[in-house]
Amino acid sequence: MKAFDYTRADDLSQAVGSPAMLIAGGTNLLDLMKLEVATPDALLDINRIGLRDIAREGAGLRIGALVSNSDCAAHPRIRADWPLLSRAILAGASPQLRNKATMGGNLCQRTRCGYFMDGHSPCNKREPGTGCAAQGGVNRNHAILGASDACIATYPGDMAVALSALRATVETEGPDGVREIAMRDFHRLPKDDPSRDNVLKPGEVITAIRLPAPFGGRQLYRKVRDRASYAFALVSVAAAIRMDAGRIDAAQLAFGSIAHKPWTDERVEKMLVGERPSAALFDKAADLLLEDAQGQGDNDFKILLTRRTLAAALAEATGE
Amino acid sequence: MSDTYDTPDTRDMLDRTRQGVIGKGLDRPEGPLKVAGTATYAAEYARPGCAEGVLVGAAISKGRVTAIHRDAVMAMPGVLGVYSSERMLRRAAQGTAGEAPEQDVSTVDFPMQPVALVVAETFEQATAAAKALRIDYDDQSDDARFMPSDDNAEPADDPVEAGDLDRALREAAHVVDAQFTTPGHASAAMEPHAAIAEWEGRDLTLWGSLQMLSFNVAELADSLGIDPKHVRILSPYVGGGFGSKLGISHEAVAAALAAQDLGRPVRVVMSRQQVFQSIMRRSETEQRIRLGCGPDGRLTAFAHEALVSNLPGEDFSEPVTQASEFLYAGENRLLAVRKSDITRLTAGSVRAPGEAVGMQALEVAMDELAEAAGIDPVELRKRNLPDAVPGEGTPYSSRRLVQALDAGAAAFGWDQRSATPCARREGEWWIGHGVASAARVNILAKAEARVTLTADGHVVVETDHTDIGTGSYAVLGQIAAEMLGQPIDRTTVQLGDSRLPSGAGSGGSWGASSTGSAAFRACEAIRATLAQAVGCSADDLLLQDGKAWAEGVDPRPVTDLLTEDLTRTGRIEPGDLMEKVNQSTYGAFFCEVAVNAFTGETRIRRMTGAFGFGRVLNAKTARSQCLGGMVWGIGSALTEALQFDSRDGHLVNHDLAEYHVPVHADIPPMEVILLEERDPHASPIQAKGVGELGICGAAGAVANAIYNACGVRLRDFPMTPDRLLAHLPDPFAPAA
C-alpha cells in the first residue's frame, strides 16, 4: 500500500470540495489500495459527519449516505415497503462486509474485472490510454450491453440495481450546491472515458438516497451466481411488478452485471404494461432488452442467461 | 525389530489395549489455541530487529532479467536491500524432492515468477519499494506456448497396456467413449506462505509454513549451499497445505539469503495473489475414457488416457489414471498420461493428485455405461470389482467398496431414485441423484518418532511431523495414550521442529498412519521395558489409567515402576508390502442436487459419503477429513477453475474472491459414514490414509446427479451455469 495522508472530517462541509479521496466503510477502497490499484495521496474519513438517519419524506424515504448496508436491509419500513432494496442488499457480500459498507460507498464500488484488479495489465479504467486487456482475454463476467472499445467492464453491485428498478434518486452536495441525480443516471457507460464510473463531479459528496413512494406489487431480486453466496452476479434482475386483473399494471426492472451500470430499459417496462404474463411475452421482452447485446467470447452465455433470468423473475413476480 | 514393514502385523494391538481412547472422536488438543488466535503461525513470531521482505514478480511471461535498477529503490525510505540472485528460487520444490528446485531468478520461466526481493524496515516500505523497482527484461514470450496441446506432449510414464483393447471395444455389448476436461485447481490455504529467517553464525533458523520438514531442511540447505545440520525449521502450526507447502518455495530461500546478508532476521510473507501466481497449481486435464462391457455389465475393455501439463523441465505429471489401475475390471486395458510443456506456473501435487481429477471423470463414464447397459449404477460398480489388480494379479488387502456402496445407498435412500432424468421438478428446480465410487492409493512412508513416559507418568510424543489442520496432534497423542495406558490429558505431542526425529510429514495422506506407526513402535519398546518391571511378557502386559499389571499380578501405578524417564524411538520404513498387496482406500458418494431449470445454477441438497480406510484413529478428525474432501469435490464439480489468459499464460483469477471455493451456503448438511476395518498390510496400527479419499470421485457423483436431474450430460468441469444453460429443457414445459 502506498503511503497516504489521513484526516477525519467533523462535518459535511469539510468533505464537500475536498480534493482527498473519501473513505467510509472502506470495504472496496482498502482492497484496491492494498493492491495499489487505488493510490490516493490523501484520505478523508467521513464516518463522523452524521448522515446516518433513515427518515420519512412525504410518502418516500430518505436514507443517509452513511447508513450501513446492514441497517438499511434490516429497517422495518424498507422491508415492508421497498423489499426489493432489502433483498438486493442481502444478496451481496457477507454480513461482515454489509456491516461496514455504507449506502453511498456501495454506489461507488469499482468493477471486479480481473485486468483492472491486477494492477498491471492494460486497462483504460485504471490507467487511461493503456488499452483493454479484457477484450480477447478472460471475460466471462463482462458486459453484453453498453460496452465500448475502451472498456467492457461491468458494475458489479446489487444494491444499485434494486435502487435503479425502484427509481430512487441520489442526493449530493458539491462545491456548486445540492443536486439530485436519478439513480438510473448516476452510473455512466464507459464510452471513451471508462476511468469515470459515475457522474459525480470532483469534490461532490453523496449525502442521501431517496426512495419514492412505495411501488407495491411484487418485488424480487434474482441474482444468478456461480456459488450460493459471496460471489458477484453473473446476471441479476431486480423486478417490481404490479398486477391488475391478470394483466401487468406496472413494471419496473433493472439488470445487474451485464453493463457498466445497472441496466434499465424503459421500452421493456412499457411493453409489458397491459399484457397477460406468458412465456411468449417474456421472450418478447427479452428480445427487446437484448436486441443490441454483444458477447465478448467467454461471456456470450450471458445473453441467454439474461433472457432466462428475466423469464424466471417475471414468471415469479406475475404468478399466482 | 526391523524398521522395514514387510510382514503384516495381525496382532490387533490397538484392539487389545485397554485405555479406550484410540478411535474416539476426541477434540484436537490445539483447537482452543487456534480458535483463540494464540497458536503461533510462521509470520507471527516476534524476532527482535526483524526486517520485512516483499517479493517482486516478473512482468514478462518468459525470458531473462537484463537489469535491476536497484539504486533508485535503495534511496527510498527504510529500504535495506534489493536481492536477485542465482540462489533464489524460480520455482517451488515438488513434494519429497529433498533437493533445491530450479534456482537463479535472472531467468523467467512463467508469468509473475518472483525475480527479486526488496527488504525494508517496514512491510509498507518494502511494498512501496517493490512496486517501484524497475526491471529490464529480454522478453522471450513469443517463443512460449501457453496452452497445452497433444502435439506438444510426451508420454509421462510407460503406458499400461494389456490384451486387445480395440477388439474388446468392437465386441462389447455396450460402449462408452467420452472426452472430459478438468481445469487447473489452486492449492491456496488460509495461511499464505511465509517465512522468518534468522542466522546465528552459520546456523539458520527458519520459521516456515511447511508440510514435510525433513525434506524441507534438505531443500533449503541445498538451495543455500550449506550443510543441512546448520538448518533448523520450525513449523508447529500450519494453516493448511493442500500440497502447496510440501516443498520449500520462494519466500523461504529469499528470507534466508537476505537475513544472511543483512545480519538480522528477515520476514517474507507472500500476498494471496503471489501464492496463487507463483507456488503450485494442479494441472488441467483432457481425458478420454473408453469402456466396453458385456450384456451383464461386466467390463471387458477399459481405457483411460489423459493430457496434462507442466513447465518444461518438471518431472511431475498429474497421475490422472492412478486409481484406474486397480479399481475396476476389464482385462483389455490402456492407461496413458501425456504431458505437455507450457509456460504457466509449476504444476504439482494438489490434494489427492491423480484421483481428484481422474476419478471424477471415470465415475461419470461409469454412470454413462450403467445407463447404456440398463443397469443400476451402484450394481454396475459392484459387478466390476476384480479379484486381483487387472494386468498385475496383485491381491487386495482390505477393500470396503461394496460395503460403502451398500451402506451409503441405504443411508441415502438410493432406492427412491428415478433411473430416468427429468423425473422430479420442484418449482424452478430439477431434482436428481447421483452416485460415484471413491478410491485412492495408500502409502506408508518412512517415519521416526520419540516417545517418553516420564517418571511422573506423563506421555510425550516428539517428532518433526506437522499438523496442517488435519489432527496430527490429536491422533499421535491417542496412539501413545492407548499404548501406554495413560489418560489423554497426561499426553503431550510436540511437532514441527526439525530437530525432533523425522516424521513422515503431512502429504499423500500418509502422515497419521506412518508417523503414528513410528510412535506405536516407540510405545512398544516402552511396553517391553514395563513388562520386565512387572515380570510378565510384553504380550501379557496390561496398562490402563496409569496402572500396570498382568494376569495374576496386582495393578501398580506405572510411576512405581519407573525411576527415571523412559524414552524410546520408533522407526518405520516401507517394505515390499505395497507392491505385493494393493492397499488402496475406498468409499462411495451419493448426492442430491437441484438444478435451476431457467438459469442452470446447481445447488447441492444433500450428500452422503461412506469410507473404509483401515482403522479409524479419531472418529472426529477422520470425519472432518472426509467432509473436507467432499467439499473439495463439490468445488471441483461446480465452481473451481484457474483461469489463465491464453495470450500470455498469466493467472487472471488469483484470489479467493474470484477463484470460487464453496462457501457455507453451498454446503448442506453432509453425512459421513466411517466403515471400520483393519488393514494389517498397510501399517502396524492397521490404519490407512484418509486425508484425500473424500475428494476422489465426489465431483463425479455431483455430475451424475446433474444428469439425473435435468438430462444434461456434461463432461467439462466445473459445471457452472453457462455450461448447463444452453442444454436445459424448456423451463416452461410441463414436467414429465
Confidence band, pLDDT 50/70/90 cuts, at residue B734: low
Residue at B298 is within a domain: no
> pLDDT for B627-660, tens place per residue?
999 999 999 999 999 999 999 999 999 999 999 9
| DSSP-assigned states of every residue in B295-335 | TT--EEEEEEEEEEEE-TT------TTTGGGTSS--SEEEE
DSSP 8-state assignment for residue B228:
G
Residue at B718 is within a domain: yes
Residues B631 and B695 in one domain: yes
**Of B146, B160, B287, nearest in space to B650 by CA:** B146
> pLDDT for A154-196, tens place per residue?
999 999 999 999 999 999 999 999 999 999 999 999 999 999 9
User: For the residues A22-46, what does the mean pLDDT come to?
Assistant: 96
Instruction: Indicate whether B681 pLDDT > 50.
Output: yes
Q: What is the pLDDT of residue B735?
A: 53
Provide the grid cell at B697: 470421485
CB contact under 8 A, B273 and A35: yes
Domain that includes residue B666, residue range:
354-359+376-442+580-725
Could you tell me if B185 and B374 are in contact, meaning their C-beta atoms sit under 8 angstroms apart?
no
Cβ-Cβ contacts under 8 Å, B724 against chain A: none
Residue at B171 is within a domain: no
> pLDDT for A273-284, tens place per residue?
999 999 999 999
Could you tell me if B624 and A114 are in contact, meaning their C-beta atoms sit under 8 angstroms apart?
no
**What's the rounded Cα separation, in Å, for the pair A158 and A164?**
10
User: For the residues B36-41, what does the mean pLDDT come to?
Assistant: 96
Q: Does B720 touch chain A (CB under 8 A)?
A: yes
Residues B661 and B517 in one domain: no
Residues B624 and B475 in one domain: no
Peptide bond into B721 cis (omega under 30): no
User: For the residues A272-300, what does the mean pLDDT come to?
Assistant: 98
Residues 6+ apart with CB under 8 A from B28: B34, B471, B473, B474, B621
Residues B609 and B702 in one domain: yes
Residues B134 and B202 in one domain: yes
Please count the other Cβ atoms lying within 10 Å of the Cβ belonging to residue B375: 20
Residue at A113 is within a domain: no
Cβ-Cβ contacts under 8 Å, A234 against chain B: 721-722
Residue at B527 is within a domain: yes
How many A×B Cβ pairs under 8 Å?
92
Whole-angstrom CA distances from A164 to A268, B51, B137 are: 14, 50, 48
Confidence band, pLDDT 50/70/90 cuts, at residue B209: very high
Q: What is the pLDDT of residue B2?
A: 83
Residues B593 and B560 in one domain: no
Q: How many domains does chain B divide into?
A: 3
Could you tell me if B83 and B254 are in contact, meaning their C-beta atoms sit under 8 angstroms apart?
yes
User: For the residues B395-408, what does the mean pLDDT come to?
Assistant: 97
Q: What is the pLDDT of residue A320?
A: 64
Instruction: Indicate whether A210 pLDDT > 60.
Output: yes
Q: Does A113 touch chain B (CB under 8 A)?
A: no
Residues B121 and B215 in one domain: yes
**What's the rounded Cα separation, in Å, for the pair B41 and A266?**
56
Residue at B418 is within a domain: yes
Q: What is the pLDDT of residue B733?
A: 85
B492-508 burial by CB neighbour count: b if 16+ within 10 A, else e?
bbbbbebebbbbbbbbb
**Per-residue three-class SS string for B191-220:** CCCEEEEEEECCEEEEEECCCCHHHHHHHH
Q: How many domains does chain A divide into?
A: 2
Residue at B160 is within a domain: no
Cβ-Cβ contacts under 8 Å, A279 against chain B: 732
**Of B717, B699, B11, B720, nearest in space to B355 by CA:** B699
> pLDDT for B123-162, tens place per residue?
999 999 999 999 999 999 999 999 999 999 999 999 999 9
Q: What is the pLDDT of residue B736?
A: 47
DSSP 8-state assignment for residue B651:
B
Q: What is the pLDDT of residue A1?
A: 83
Domain that includes residue A235, residue range:
218-318
> pLDDT for A75-125, tens place per residue?
999 999 999 999 999 999 999 999 999 999 999 999 999 999 999 999 999
Residue at A88 is within a domain: no
Residues B69 and B27 in one domain: no
Q: Which of A2, A228, A309 sits opposite B666 (nearest CB)?
A: A228
Residue at B716 is within a domain: yes
Helix (DSSP H) and strand (DSSP E) numbers for chain A: 13, 11
A292: domain CATH number is 3.30.390.50
% of chain A surpassing 70 pLDDT = 100
Residues 6+ apart with CB under 8 A from B723: B600, B714, B716
Q: Does B121 touch chain A (CB under 8 A)?
A: no
Residue at A129 is within a domain: no
Mode of pairing for the β-strands spanning B281-282 and B185-186: antiparallel
Domain C-terminal end among B574, B591, B618? B574
Domain C-terminal end among B239, B257, B281? B281
Three-state secondary-structure class, residue B547: strand
CA-nearest residue of chain A to B639?
A: A226
Residue at A17 is within a domain: yes
Residue at A146 is within a domain: no
Instruction: Indicate whether B569 pLDDT > 90.
Output: yes
| Element spanning B369, H or E | helix B355-373
Whole-angstrom CA distances from B705 to B51, B60, B405, B594 are: 53, 43, 16, 9
Q: Does B664 touch chain A (CB under 8 A)?
A: yes
Could you tell me if B700 and B359 are in contact, meaning their C-beta atoms sit under 8 angstroms apart?
yes
Q: Is B692 labeled as catalytic in the residue annotation?
A: yes
Q: What is the pLDDT of residue B66?
A: 98
**Of B95, B624, B631, nearest in space to B348 by CA:** B95
User: For the residues B703-731, what does the mean pLDDT come to?
Assistant: 97
Residues B266 and B120 in one domain: yes
Residues B255 and B127 in one domain: yes
Residues B409 and B449 in one domain: no
B588-604 burial by CB neighbour count: b if 16+ within 10 A, else e?
bbbbbbbbbbbbbbbbb
Please count the other Cβ atoms lying within 10 Å of the Cβ belonging to residue B133: 23
Domain C-terminal end among B545, B574, B603? B574
**Per-residue three-class SS string for B134-193:** EEEEEECHHHCCCCCCHHHEEECCCCEEECCHHHHHHHCCEEEEEEEEECCEECCCCCCC
Residue at A306 is within a domain: yes
A-interface mutation test, from B601, B651, B727, most A Cβ less than 10 A away: B601
Question: Which carries the bigger pLDDT value, residue A3 or residue B463?
Answer: B463
**Long-range contacts from B373-378, C-beta under 8 angstroms, 24+ separation:** B373/B173, B373/B174, B373/B293, B373/B295, B373/B297, B375/B297, B376/B419, B377/B434, B377/B435, B377/B704, B378/B405, B378/B409, B378/B414, B378/B435, B378/B588
Distance from chain centroid for Cα A141: 15
Q: Which of A133, A136, A226 sits opposite B639 (nearest CB)?
A: A226
Per the DSSP assignment, residues forming a β-bridge with B568 are B451
Cβ-Cβ contacts under 8 Å, B273 against chain A: 35, 118
Q: Does A131 touch chain B (CB under 8 A)?
A: no
Residue at B546 is within a domain: yes
**Of A134, A136, A106, nearest in space to A262 by CA:** A106
Q: Does B46 touch chain A (CB under 8 A)?
A: no
Provide the grid cell at B631: 467439499
User: For the residues B663-684, what does the mean pLDDT come to?
Assistant: 97
Instruction: Indicate whether A63 pLDDT > 90.
Output: yes
| DSSP-assigned states of every residue in A211-237 | E-S---SEEEEEEE-SSSSSS--SEEE
B97: domain CATH number is 3.30.365.10
Provide the grid cell at A38: 487505488
> pLDDT for B608-622, tens place per residue?
999 999 999 999 999
Q: What is the pLDDT of residue B180?
A: 98
> pLDDT for B299-335, tens place per residue?
999 999 999 999 999 999 999 999 999 999 999 999 9
Residues B607 and B560 in one domain: no
| Amino acid type, B311 | L
Could you tell me if A304 and A320 are in contact, meaning their C-beta atoms sit under 8 angstroms apart?
no
Distance, first Cα to last Cα, chain B: 67
Residue at A67 is within a domain: no
